[in-house]
Structure 1
Amino acid sequence: MVEKTGRRWWALAALTLSVLIVGLDGTIISVALPTLSDELGATSAQLQWIGGGYLLALSVGMLPAGLLGDRYGHRRLLVSGIALFGLASAAGALAGTAGQVIAARAVLGLGAAMITPLSMAILPKVFGKDELPRAVGVWTAATAVGMPVGPLVGGWLLDHFWWGSVFLFNVPVTVLAAAACLRLLPADGPRVRDGAPFDYAGTLLGTLGIIGLVYGTIQVPEHGWGSASVLVPLAAGAVLLALFVRRQRRAAAPLVDIGLFADGTFRWGAVIAVFVNFAVMGLLFVVPQYLQAVLGNDAFGSGLRLLPLIAGLMAAATLAESLVPRLGARVVIPAGLLLLAVATLLGAATNPGDGYAMAAGWLSMAGLGFGLAVVPATSMVIGALPEDGAGTGTSLLETIQQLGGVLGVAALGSVLNAGYLARLSVAGLPAPAAHAARGSVTGADAVAARLHDEALAASAHGAFVHGMNLTLLVCAGTALLAAVLGVVFLPGRARGAQAPPAAAPQEAARAGELPA
């Protein structure tokens, strides 16, 4: 039997490394898009699908990943996902056309869809319920760190190497992550041979439904919410997902266990996690643009200036572990949500002339609130999962969070755009210049620089800040609503602090599973 004290934390390091590369890749490509446009001749539509193809594959792949992990082994499927991620990264680095980059990004999305839910499903195999909140906090921090650090790393790579370096960067990291997972994670048991057929019909319904929702959402920035190219796929996706849910309730071997929502702990933990994800994704959508377009930072500098958010999250991960047993989830999670709401309300009071100091203050507060809410909520959800169905449960959670985040960014992007257009003044500009200025604040800056029009630049910056403030108000309202739900429905201190019986033998058994 292996002494567990140090080994389980090294196992957590392997898991966090695997999700860190996913977080990095989700945003590192954003800074490379202008370069891809110049060097590969990528059109606007192709640039959109470099991001959209990844998002579609990620959303679709999460549903079957958990069930396959439960049947064939979480570590096996996790390492396979990491290997697929590394191979797709190498292919992306060698791509010669925009179409090849889109294909590589889609395969990257499939790899990421295997990595995220399966790494989460392994956490309760390594940690008992007393230490699970701390482990979830570290794991959550790793997923969040990648988002602001991605542009920072990408900007540095593009300053020193060719565009393919943003893909090639992943390859040695995936090799290290796969080796660490094989060495440090609990070995899988024998493959499950229960004879239950794989739910191909459910997979098809779920896949097409998610494609409809995500595809329709991707079209929003270009066509608007009232367009048939948006409404038709959204409606079709909603109908198909309703049929998917109906089938999952009746199937002998469902792809996901819809019955998990009958457990109040899982249900409300998942709902609050989705609300928190919605608010934070909105924040991460607008703030990098503010840091670059209004405050004038490059991608590298913007990534550095988002670090207070991560610092707050990491502090919260430590606090949550001690606060939940004392105060209960019903106190800690709503308190974190209220802190997140206050932070975004402070952000919504931003003026065009404000500097970074104010933003650093409310970003660190937002990170603290985010961590106090999402870490206990995720721990509750994981703790409510049956041991033999952890993969399907985490896949279900990650899928609904992913869909909530995608739809949220589209909705909040519309709020941002409406606020921007409402305040932007393009009077006296030629029609092509006015069109470019209306398209984005960066477009307005380019027109202003070309025409030496300081008034246009000032108008665009003020208009963007107005749109950002409206977006942050919606984020604050979302966090407040989630706080109310938490107070009403979450378990109190007695249940939140409850430890499983015979915890010590269970932890000893987990330690014995860890490889020497």
Structure 2
Amino acid sequence: MTELVPLPSPRRWLALAALTLSVLIVGLDGTVINVALPTMASQLPATSAQLQWIGGGYLLALSVAMLPVGLLGDRYGHKRLLLSGITLFGLASLGGALATTPVQVITARAVLGLGAAAILPLSMAILPRVFAKDELPKAIAVWTAATALGMPVGPVVGGWLLDHFWWGSVFLFNLPVAVLALLAGLWLLPHDEPRATTAPFDTLGTVLGGLGIVSLVYGTILIPGDGWTSPPVAASLAAAVVLLTCFVLRERRAAHPIVDLKLFADRRFLWGSLIAVFVNFAVMGILFVVPQYLEAVLGNDSFGTGIRVLPLIGGLMAAATASESVVPRLGARTVVPLGMLIMAIGTLLGATTDTSDGYGFTALWLALTGLGFGLAVVPATSLVMGALPEGNTGSGTSLLETVQQLGSVLGVAGLGSLLGYGYLGRLHTAGLPGAAADAARDSVSGADAVAAQLHDPALAAQAHEAFVHGMNLVLLACGAIALLAAVLAALFLPGRSTCSRTVARSAAEHAQSVA
């Protein structure tokens, strides 16, 4: 196997730029499409169900493919599969831009999901091959910021493109970025050779895991329209429980499992992963409700909304800079709970939002939340990376990314239901015609449209108050989750002495390998 020796300075930072560029386009693509859906509905044209699967097809492909791709990377080379994923992502973007029917767009989005499934875990798996242990947390911070940056910037890019070009430009935009990431990766990333192994591939485990994830994600996709108790949702989630239970039993007994569940026996991997899941759960809830608030209640367009979410990223970048010096002095067991506590303060402050509050208040609590996000997720991810065996980083990062992805999917479904509960509980549509009442109850933007048609400012004001109430419930839940994570991190994360011994041992091993 190729020896994992970090690249000499300053090339490692250029390599990091190539990796962050690849994950940035994934983050952008995950949200940019939402801005284009109304345009697609009118110009393709596409039905509501087809619009749902433009997003759902991507999510299903991403969730299913992410689990086995890490093992494939460990066997056949991280760089090789990462570049293949970037290439697939670029070709699918071109296909989406040239699509003329909704089915073609759905297909392109599914292929984009496959490409993204290779990019996310394998770009993370390459980081330890490029950076030594002492620089790895800083690299993880930059990588994390790039993945997070794409989410709020996506609507900014999408809004600008749709103002100047046709809807296919939101796909075409990915192509030059993918080409640049591919060329940079070819030139800068360390070369790797396939691992010499004759071990059989765990086909049964792959099928069980894939079907279980499909059932889980499919069920959550149906929740907004059908509700948690509808027969299709209940059947899908029940099947997911059965299939994923069978998957875990299979992986525990298989001689060559697709993922090594023994990683969870390491406290660094177990609690680092759980903290990362909690953090992403809360952040996805925030990114689900805040753009709607900025657009529907405060009256910003897509471009302005994306710009106004950036304080979250600003806080994250500040935390990334601070964590480089703070974590070595205080230890992850202190910094991670502190980060979660700051994140909880930010979201709980946001949960006091009133319709009369302006953007300045939102920017304040978003910045606090981003600061806590960065202080928590960077050292937690560093702990996870430190627990991965050198030859199987791809499998470990795939497992981490899959768990985070499923947590995010369930988080958006659960918090979305909480938002709907709060919104509908405060919205009164008794005096409206049937179709108008349905539109108003469907979303706050629908209520605004009905209010404009009926010249009823009182309905719009009531809908805004109802939405803010629902948003505050979501932020309250996110704050409670952050507080719970802070307590768990303080109790169960490895202490500073344990982490110091691990880092020292890793540094000694690295020095021996270089010598």
TM value normalised by structure 1: 0.97
Deviation at 1:20, TM superposition (A): 0.3
Cα distance between partner residues in 1 of 2:513 and 2:255 = 31
Letter in 2 for 1:194: T
Deviation at 1:507, TM superposition (A): 6.5
Which of 114, 118, 135 is the aligned partner of 2:139?
135
Letter in 2 for 1:160: H
Partner of 1:231: 234
Q: 1:497 is paired with a residue of what secondary structure?
A: helix
Cα distance between partner residues in 2 of 1:502 and 1:399 = 26
1:389 aligns with 2:360: no
Q: How does 1:6-405 map to 2 (within 5 A)?
A: 6-189=10-193, 191-405=194-408
Q: 1:4 is paired with a residue of what secondary structure?
A: coil
Cα distance between partner residues in 2 of 1:507 and 1:11 = 21
Q: Do the aligned residues in 2 keep the contact of 1:129 with 1:500 (CA within 8 Å)? A: no
Cα deviation 1:38-79 (Å, max 9, x = unaligned):
001100011010000000000001011100000000000000
Q: Do the aligned residues in 1 keep the contact of 2:351 with 2:475 (CA within 8 Å)? A: yes
Q: 1:351 is paired with a residue of what secondary structure?
A: coil
Letter in 1 for 2:27: G
Cα deviation 1:461-498 (Å, max 9, x = unaligned):
00000000000000001001101100100122222334
Cα distance between partner residues in 1 of 2:396 and 2:13 = 23
Deviation at 1:427, TM superposition (A): 2.9
Q: Do the aligned residues in 2 keep the contact of 1:341 with 1:476 (CA within 8 Å)? A: yes
Cα distance between partner residues in 2 of 1:307 and 1:276 = 18
Partner of 1:470: 473
Partner of 1:436: 439
Change (3 A) 1:3 1:220: closer
Cα distance between partner residues in 2 of 1:2 and 1:408 = 37
Q: 2:10 is paired with a residue of what secondary structure?
A: helix
Q: Which runs of 4+ in 1 moved over 4 A?
A: 507-510
Deviation at 1:504, TM superposition (A): 7.1
Cα deviation 1:6-51 (Å, max 9, x = unaligned):
1111111111001000000000000000000000110001101000
Number of residues paired by the alignment? 510
Deviation at 1:192, TM superposition (A): 2.0
Which of 410, 414, 418 is the aligned partner of 2:421?
418
Cα distance between partner residues in 1 of 2:311 and 2:512 = 38
Letter in 1 for 2:132: G
Letter in 2 for 1:391: G
Letter in 1 for 2:157: V
Cα distance between partner residues in 2 of 1:76 and 1:323 = 36
Deviation at 1:322, TM superposition (A): 1.2
Cα distance between partner residues in 2 of 1:243 and 1:340 = 36
> Percent of counterpart pairs with the same letter?
70
Cα distance between partner residues in 1 of 2:82 and 2:399 = 17
Cα distance between partner residues in 2 of 1:443 and 1:507 = 62
Partner of 1:4: 8
Q: 2:171 is paired with a residue of what secondary structure?
A: helix
Q: Do the aligned residues in 1 keep the contact of 2:276 with 2:381 (CA within 8 Å)? A: yes
Range moving further from structure 2, 142-151 or 428-437: 428-437
Unaligned runs of 5+ in 2: none
Letter in 1 for 2:497: A
Cα distance between partner residues in 2 of 1:143 and 1:41 = 32
Range moving further from structure 2, 491-500 or 3-12: 491-500
Q: Do the aligned residues in 1 keep the contact of 2:212 with 2:244 (CA within 8 Å)? A: yes
Deviation at 1:399, TM superposition (A): 0.2
Partner of 2:463: 460
Cα deviation 1:212-247 (Å, max 9, x = unaligned):
000000000000001011110011011101100111
RMSD: 1.4
Cα deviation 1:142-173 (Å, max 9, x = unaligned):
00000000000000001001111000001111
Cα distance between partner residues in 2 of 1:356 and 1:330 = 34
Change (3 A) 1:430 1:320: same
Q: 2:128 is paired with a residue of what secondary structure?
A: helix
Q: Do the aligned residues in 2 keep the contact of 1:326 with 1:497 (CA within 8 Å)? A: no
